[in-house]
Structure 1
């Protein structure tokens, strides 16, 4: 028999229940699933620390949006995934999230390199079951939104670093250029310079931010 120790972290108990029921109903006959659950960063971190000393998890599911830890040092499932990577090196890390913005997807893949990356709006119980078995034997497994985004950004020959991605992301959220320095540790002139470079890269001829965002979207950077 294959005993699989699993941690599921999501702040909505009903979602965890759905995941559990799906996996239990679709597991292979020779698989025994032992599932721990957590609804916030503190509980999840305690379970991870305990597992690293006793019985390590084989698979960890992390939702991205979670209530922060009480000391504020862990603010998301992304932070938990990094902790898990560090103290449970053999665990398969699966990210589940409502976020489908390319900026966020890019960051998570870069920072965590998850074994599974599933966008909740793509997810059916069948896909979850398939993803779980796939990740156990032959990771990674990315759901369609993630794959489409990756295809777009790989085929694009434009290179945009993380600061430029952040500038694009903030502008797309309606943040005005003059307020960007509140979010990014750069001078106003450095931010303006980066915007000019991006407008050249994306061949924005009318100089407008809206056109820059439109071009960035087309090429999968937003």
Structure 2
């Protein structure tokens, strides 16, 4: 029985304690789980980089949203996933997040291509055991809500570029159009023009931004 080394990065201590208690208590036939933890972006980054010089974690569990400290730019588990792909490509990556929206999940699938994605409300003893077994033998592993989001996006025949997707996402979280220039590499007139085009594409050209958000969400883009 060989050790299965797992790193969990989550800013909620109780969540990681739960993962550790459950996973180290499961009787896997071929593995004995040892779970290491990190509760900040910085600590997680350090442990991922250090593992490249010694041993690579078999699996890295990542939360998407990590608490930002001080005045700095907030970092995400998605960034850590991109880093891990570069420095420890042999490690398998699984996201464990409360996010179940199509935009966020499909963005992570594109940038990181993880071996799994679990929505936290669907995580329990059985799903954790199934995740480990699937990821080690025949990845990927998705919980039901993640799979629905992925299929919803795949079945849509509308093609949008990254700026279009970012505009829709920022509209959905309440970002004002004038402030989107901080997040999107377009001028304000360019963003406003794209938004008008999106309303035409989604068939809500004579309606407000909320109608665009609703239609984009129904089609799985946010």
TM-score by length of 2: 0.91
1:168 paired to 2:181: no
Alignment partners' CA distance in 2, 1:79 and 1:14: 23
Q: Which residue is equivalent to 2:25?
A: 25
2:52 match: secondary structure? helix
Aligned to 1:37: 37
| Matched residue count | 222
Contact 2:196/2:205 (CA < 8 Å) preserved in 1? no
Q: Is residue 8 of structure 2 the alignment partner of residue 8 of structure 1?
A: yes
Instruction: Structure 1: state its 5+ residue gaps.
Output: none
Asked whether the equivalents of residues 12 and 39 of structure 2 are also in contact (C-alpha less than 8 Å), the reply is yes
Counterpart contact for 2:96–2:117, Cα < 8 Å: yes
Structure-2 change in CA distance of 1:71 and 1:7 (3 Å):
farther
Label 1:100 to 1:125 Cα distance change in 2 as closer, same or farther (>3 A). same
Structure-2 change in CA distance of 1:180 and 1:69 (3 Å)? closer
1:39-54 pair list within 5 angstroms: 39-54=39-54
Of the structure 1 ranges 172-181 and 102-111, higher mean CA displacement relative to structure 2 is found in 172-181
Match of 1:134 in 2: 134
Aligned to 2:191: 191
Question: Where has structure 1 moved over 3 Å in runs of 4 or more?
Answer: 67-74
Aligned to 2:80: 80
Q: Secondary structure at the match of 1:89?
A: coil
1: distance between equivalents of 2:57 and 2:92? 8
- Conserved? CA contact 1:42–1:68, under 8 Å: no
Partners of 1:16 and 1:37 within 8 A in 2? yes
TM-score, scaled relative to structure 1: 0.91
Deviation (angstroms), 1:66? 2.0
Pair 1:59–1:70, CA change in 2 (3 A): farther
**In the aligned structure 2, how far is the partner of 1:69 from the partner of 1:138?**
38
Q: Distance in 2 between matches of 1:46 and 1:178?
A: 37
Structure 2 residues without counterparts, runs of 5 or longer: none
Q: Distance in 2 between matches of 1:125 and 1:117?
A: 16
Give the aligned CA root-mean-square deviation in angstroms.
2.1
Query: Does the Cα contact within 8 Å between 2:119 and 2:145 map onto a contact in 1?
Result: yes
Give, in whole Å, the separation in 2 of the partners of 1:26 and 1:176.
Answer: 48
